[in-house]
Amino acid sequence: MNLFILLNINLDIMSWSLKNDKLVKEFKVDKFSTIINNLNKLSLVADEQNHHPDFNVFGYNKIRFELSTHDANSVTEKDYSLAKSIDLIFTDEGD
């Protein structure tokens, strides 16, 4: 299986988009404090993985993530791993 097919399978499973050599996804939560609480959880994971996301909070309840590996100037396995962690944290929405 070639890399292009594998990447598309991963994107379909995780519902992330590939835009401008970055994995991109937006989440909408119930309230601002949910974003903050989830970012606090994510900070521990990102530090553990030594891979940190770019993100933008907008409105009071939306956040957009953009993931890429800066050293490689592209998306790598590190980004897929972090994306999976973000999905787990932000779809759980546990305060």
Q: What pairing do the DSSP bridges indicate for beta strands 62-67 and 22-28?
A: antiparallel
**Angle at Cα 53 formed by Cα 55 and Cα 42, nearest 5°?**
95
* Best CA proximity match to 65, nearest among 47, 48, 46: 46
Q: Where are the domains of the chain?
A: 3-92
* Helix, strand, coil share (%) of the chain residues, nearest 5: 50, 25, 25
For domain 3-92, which architecture applies? 2-Layer Sandwich (3.30)
Model confidence, pTM: 0.82
* 60-89 confidence digits (pLDDT tens): 999 999 999 988 888 999 999 999 999 999
* 18-39 confidence digits (pLDDT tens): 999 999 999 999 999 999 999 9
Give the H/E segment covering residue 54.
Answer: strand 54-58
